[in-house]
Structure 1
Amino acid sequence: MSGHSKWASIKHSKGKADKQRSKVFSKLSKEISVAAKLGDKDPAMNPRLRSAIQAARSANMPKDNIERAIDKSSANNENNFENLRYEGFGPDKIAVIVEALTDNKNRTASNIRTIFQKSGGNLGTQGSASHNFNQLGIIKIDKKEISDEQIFELAIESGADECISHEDFHEIQCPMNEIYNVKKNLEKIIANFISTEIEWVPLNSA
Structure 2
Amino acid sequence: MAVFLWLQEIIQNLNFTPHLNQTVEMGRAFEFRKARKMKRWSAMSKAFTRIGKDIVIAVKEGGPDPDSNSKLRAVIQNAKAVNMPKANVERAIKKASDKDTKNYETVLFEGYAPHGIAVLVETSTDNNNRTVANVRSYFTKYDGSLGTSGSVEFMFEHKCHFRIPAEGKDLEELELELIDYGAEELFLDEKDEDDDNSVDGIMIYAEFQNYGAMQNGLEELGLEILSSGFEYIPTVQKELTPEQQEDVDKLLEKLEEDEDVNNVYTTIKDADD
Partner SS for 2:62: coil
**Higher-Rg member (1/2):** 1
**In the alignment, which residue of structure 2 is the partner of 1:10?**
none
CA distance in 2, matches of 1:141, 1:84: 28
**In the alignment, which residue of structure 1 is the partner of 2:32?**
none
Instruction: Tell whether 2:136 aligns with 1:104.
Output: no
Q: Residue 184 of structure 2 is aligned with which of 146, 149, 162?
A: 162
Cα drift, residue 48 of structure 1: 4.1
Cα drift, residue 147 of structure 1: 3.9
Cα drift, residue 88 of structure 1: 1.0
Q: Residue 36 of structure 1 is aligned with which of 52, 59, 75?
A: 59
**In the alignment, which residue of structure 2 is the partner of 1:191?**
224
How many residue pairs were aligned? Answer: 186
What is the identity percentage for the equivalent residue pairs of Structure 1 and Structure 2?
34
Q: Residue 58 of structure 1 is aligned with which of 77, 81, 89?
A: 81
Higher helix share: 1
Residues 78-121 of structure 1 show CA distances to partners (whole Å, capped at 9, x for unaligned) of 32643222111223423221121223333322322233345442
Task: Give the TM-score normalised by the residue count of structure 1.
Answer: 0.68
Cα drift, residue 185 of structure 1: 3.0
After TM superposition, list the pairs within 5 Å mapping 1:25-174 onto structure 2. 25-37=48-60, 39-41=61-63, 42-43=65-66, 48-75=71-98, 78-79=101-102, 81-141=104-164, 143-144=166-167, 146-157=169-180, 159-165=181-187, 168=190, 170-174=202-206
Counterpart code for 2:229: E
Alignment RMSD (CA, Å): 3.5
Partner SS for 2:224: coil
CA contact (8 A) 1:155 1:163 kept: no
After TM superposition, list the pairs within 5 Å mapping 1:10-25 onto structure 2. 24-25=47-48
Q: Unaligned regions of 5+ residues in structure 2, if any?
A: 1-9, 13-43, 191-200, 238-268
CA contact (8 A) 2:189 2:203 kept: no
Partner SS for 1:97: strand
Question: With CA pairs under 8 Å and 6+ residues apart, which has the higher RCO, 1 or 2?
Answer: 2
**In the alignment, which residue of structure 2 is the partner of 1:175?**
207
